[in-house]
Amino acid sequence: MTFPKPPNAPEKNIPDYDMVDESDACPKCGQRDIDRLVWIDDDRVECQSCGTVYKPGEQKGGNHANDEA
Ligand SMILES: [Zn+2]
């Protein structure tokens, strides 16, 4: 007898909903915890871990392909 799969995925498969995208992480310390990255105006985020202020997604400035595996 085969048991059906449970309807809920294992918890390890949930997305990082409280982590920002890698391209938006702190360029200095790599902080990605959304609770540690505070918007200070429309463009800039302040990292509460190291105090760096930066523009998310701009530090790489470029033509990156989607993602390398
Ligand atoms: Zn930082």
For the chain, the domains span 16-59
Spacing, Cα 2 to ligand 1 middle (Å): 50
Neighbours of ion ligand 1 (CB under 5 A): 26, 28-29, 31, 47, 49-50, 52
Look up the pTM and report it.
Answer: 0.59
Spacing, Cα 28 to ligand 1 middle (Å): 5
Residue 13 pLDDT exceeds 70:
no
CB contact at 8 A, 31 and 50: yes
12-to-6, 9, 20 alpha-carbon distances in Å: 15, 8, 17
Spacing, Cα 33 to ligand 1 middle (Å): 10
At 18, is the pLDDT very low, low, confident or very high (cuts 50, 70, 90)? confident
Strands 45-47 and 53-54: antiparallel
Distance CA 40, CA 51 (A): 12
Residue 35 CB: number of other CB atoms within 10 A? 9
At 66, is the pLDDT very low, low, confident or very high (cuts 50, 70, 90)? low
